[in-house]
């Protein structure tokens, strides 16, 4: 007997996670974004990044006083929240973000919000950036952008750090998570030594650690732009001077950044790089395993429905029992004869009973 082939898919249904798991663990690149960025999501991220660049770079193109410094942070905060919602909704509309991705976003935002107070910012020690780098690396740039915004917002509510600096911090962390998802792929799956699928290699860890260190400096460089035009004495050689050419203005800012926050940014960079090197292997493996189990991007296959089974053929007659002609049908029985009128009417009168026989008592008859 030949086994009936199993259909490869059901029309319009998604395949199970095991198939995707096998494809993910087979062979090649270990960096495949679990949550892809489609056209609408990319457009929303580009719009949000453009607004962020204007918020950070306005001192080089706009004179101070054009916008009120008291109203700018609140306006930026509202626009940023709308942009984050636009990124999430665009991902949902494109099919890149589903309920599982939103649940993962909430869990990682809560973890990052709980990790931030552990560092406290003392001497630049920050514990919030390594998770952004690792999550953005595994789940993609769109997820990293949203995670940077939501985790900083949640941690600000938890620690009471809501202020005019919060929109700038959210933008900076969003870009760190997004750029981590745009890093080039590296080859690393089941390798020698019996490593499980998705285990990061040393080259990938070194690349992520170097990026984490650079992200620590980038965050401080961006955050200083939020208060540099307003907090420095105008007579200082590093103060913001309206009307200067871009090169001279940028030179002043570089001098201000190096003289005021370079040591603080170095502590942040070292903390992030060490955390990635130490915690990165276990965290990357856990994130990739969760991404395979969640199956954020299932493979949809279409196959024709199986053909219906043919009706069973009639059984052939047995050779031992010869066919016999069917027995002739018997003639129908004649109808009963009609009853006579006298039989139907019965006797005309009832007969009277005869006399009782005589009974003898002591030889005497009665």
Q: What's the rounded Cα separation, in Å, for the pair 3 and 240? A: 80
Question: Which pLDDT value is given to residue 293?
Answer: 83
Question: Which pLDDT value is given to residue 37?
Answer: 75
Question: Which pLDDT value is given to residue 328?
Answer: 58
Q: Structural domain boundaries of the chain? A: 31-189+206-294
3-state secondary structure the chain: CCCCCCCCCCCCCECCHHHHHHHHHCCCECCCCCCCCCHHHHHHHHHHHHHHHHHHHHHHCCCCCCCCCCCHHHHHHHHHHHHHHHHHHHHHHHCCCCHHHHHHHHHHHHHHHHHHHHHCCHHHCCCCHHHHHHHHHHHCHHHHHHHHHHHHHHHHHHHCCCCCCHHHHHHHHHHHHHHHHCCCCCECCCCCCCCCCCCCCHHHHHHHHHHHHHHHHHHHHHHHCCCHHHHCCCCCCCCCCCCCCHHHHHHHHHHHHHHHCHHHHHHHHHHHHHHHHHHHHHHHHHHHHHHHHHCCCCCECCCCCCCCCCCCCCCCCCCCCCCCCCCCCCCCCCCCCCCCHHHHHCCCCCCCCCCCCCCEECCEEC
Question: Which pLDDT value is given to residue 154?
Answer: 87
Q: pLDDT by residue for the chain (366 residues), tens digit each?
A: 444 444 444 444 444 444 433 444 443 344 456 667 778 778 888 888 888 888 788 777 766 555 555 556 566 667 767 777 777 777 767 666 778 888 888 899 999 888 888 876 666 788 889 999 999 999 888 888 889 888 888 888 887 777 778 888 888 998 999 999 999 887 654 444 445 555 668 889 999 999 999 999 999 998 888 888 777 777 788 888 877 888 888 888 899 888 888 888 998 999 999 999 999 999 999 998 888 887 776 556 667 777 787 888 777 766 555 555 555 566 666 666 666 554 555 554 445 555 555 554 544 444
Question: Which pLDDT value is given to residue 305?
Answer: 77
Question: Which pLDDT value is given to residue 108?
Answer: 92
Question: Which pLDDT value is given to residue 206?
Answer: 93
Q: At what angle are helices 246-260 and 262-294 packed, to 10 degrees?
A: 90
């Amino acid at each position: 007997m030949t086994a009936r082939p199993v259909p490869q898919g059901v029309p319009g249904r998604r395949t199970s996670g095991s198939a995707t798991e096998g494809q993910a663990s087979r062979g090649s690149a270990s960096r495949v974004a679990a949550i892809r960025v489609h056209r609408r999501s990319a457009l929303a991220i580009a719009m949000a990044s453009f607004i962020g660049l204007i918020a950070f770079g306005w001192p080089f193109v706009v004179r101070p006083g054009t916008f009120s410094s008291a109203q700018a942070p609140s306006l930026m905060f509202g626009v940023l929240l709308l942009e984050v919602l636009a990124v999430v909704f665009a991902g949902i509309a494109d099919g890149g973000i589903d309920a599982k991705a939103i649940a993962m976003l909430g869990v990682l935002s809560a973890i990052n919000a709980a990790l931030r107070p552990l560092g406290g910012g003392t001497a630049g020690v920050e514990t919030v950036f390594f998770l952004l780098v690792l999550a953005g690396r595994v789940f993609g740039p769109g997820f990293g952008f949203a995670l940077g915004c939501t985790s900083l917002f949640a941690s600000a509510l938890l620690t009471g750090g809501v202020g005019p600096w919060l929109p700038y911090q959210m933008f900076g962390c969003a870009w760190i998570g997004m750029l981590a998802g745009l890093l080039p792929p590296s080859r690393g799956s089941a390798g020698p030594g019996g490593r499980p699928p998705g285990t990061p290699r040393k080259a990938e860890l070194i690349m992520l650690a170097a990026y984490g260190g650079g992200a620590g400096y980038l965050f401080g460089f961006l955050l200083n732009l939020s208060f540099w035009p307003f907090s420095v004495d105008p007579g200082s050689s590093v103060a913001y001077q309206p009307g200067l050419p871009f090169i001279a203005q940028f030179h002043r800012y570089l001098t201000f950044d190096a003289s005021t926050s370079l040591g603080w940014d170095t502590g942040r960079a070292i903390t992030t790089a060490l955390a990635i090197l130490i915690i990165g292997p276990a965290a990357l493996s856990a994130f990739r395993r969760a991404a395979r189990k969640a199956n954020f991007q299932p493979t949809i296959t279409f196959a024709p429905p199986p053909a219906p089974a043919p009706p069973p053929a009639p059984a052939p007659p047995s050779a031992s029992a010869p066919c016999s002609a069917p027995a002739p049908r018997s003639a129908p029985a004649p109808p009963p004869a009609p009853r006579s009128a006298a039989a139907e009417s019965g006797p005309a009168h009832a007969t009277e009973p005869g006399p009782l026989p005589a009974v003898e008592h002591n030889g005497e008859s009665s």
